[in-house]
Amino acid sequence: MGDVLIWLSEEWAMQLRGGLYMSMVLVVCDIMHDTLSTINYKKCQSEKIYTVSC
Protein backbone atom coordinates (compact mmCIF):
# COMPACT_ATOMS: atom_id res chain seq x y z
CA MET A 1 0.00 0.00 0.00
CA GLY A 2 1.23 3.45 -0.85
CA ASP A 3 0.01 6.94 -1.60
CA VAL A 4 0.99 8.89 -4.69
CA LEU A 5 0.61 12.66 -4.61
CA ILE A 6 -0.30 14.16 -7.94
CA TRP A 7 -1.05 17.73 -8.92
CA LEU A 8 -4.21 18.10 -10.95
CA SER A 9 -5.94 20.99 -12.60
CA GLU A 10 -9.58 21.48 -11.68
CA GLU A 11 -10.61 20.14 -15.09
CA TRP A 12 -8.59 16.96 -14.62
CA ALA A 13 -9.88 16.56 -11.07
CA MET A 14 -13.47 16.76 -12.28
CA GLN A 15 -12.76 14.22 -15.04
CA LEU A 16 -11.00 11.91 -12.60
CA ARG A 17 -14.05 11.95 -10.36
CA GLY A 18 -15.99 11.02 -13.48
CA GLY A 19 -13.65 8.09 -14.11
CA LEU A 20 -12.41 9.39 -17.46
CA TYR A 21 -8.78 9.35 -16.36
CA MET A 22 -8.88 6.06 -14.46
CA SER A 23 -6.40 4.48 -16.89
CA MET A 24 -3.91 7.28 -16.22
CA VAL A 25 -4.19 6.61 -12.49
CA LEU A 26 -3.74 2.88 -13.00
CA VAL A 27 -0.55 3.57 -14.96
CA VAL A 28 0.74 5.73 -12.09
CA CYS A 29 0.01 2.91 -9.63
CA ASP A 30 1.69 0.35 -11.89
CA ILE A 31 4.83 2.49 -12.15
CA MET A 32 4.95 2.66 -8.37
CA HIS A 33 4.94 -1.18 -8.30
CA ASP A 34 1.97 -1.25 -5.95
CA THR A 35 -0.86 -3.73 -6.00
CA LEU A 36 -4.00 -1.86 -6.90
CA SER A 37 -6.68 -2.44 -4.30
CA THR A 38 -8.58 0.79 -3.97
CA ILE A 39 -8.31 4.28 -5.37
CA ASN A 40 -9.23 7.16 -3.14
CA TYR A 41 -9.25 10.78 -4.11
CA LYS A 42 -8.87 13.07 -1.16
CA LYS A 43 -8.75 16.74 -1.94
CA CYS A 44 -6.42 18.38 0.55
CA GLN A 45 -8.45 21.37 1.65
CA SER A 46 -7.94 24.20 -0.84
CA GLU A 47 -4.93 22.58 -2.48
CA LYS A 48 -5.28 20.84 -5.83
CA ILE A 49 -3.50 17.73 -4.56
CA TYR A 50 -5.08 14.30 -4.62
CA THR A 51 -3.83 11.13 -2.98
CA VAL A 52 -4.07 7.97 -5.04
CA SER A 53 -4.16 4.96 -2.74
CA CYS A 54 -2.70 1.91 -4.45
In the chain, where are the structural domains located? 3-53
Question: What are the tens digits of pLDDT across the range 1-54?
Answer: 455 555 555 565 556 555 544 444 444 444 443 433 444 444 444 344 455 554
pLDDT recorded at residue 39: 44
- Which pTM value belongs to this model? 0.20
The whole-angstrom separation of Cα 48 and Cα 45 is: 8
Q: How many CA atoms lie within 13 A of 12 on its CB side?
A: 14
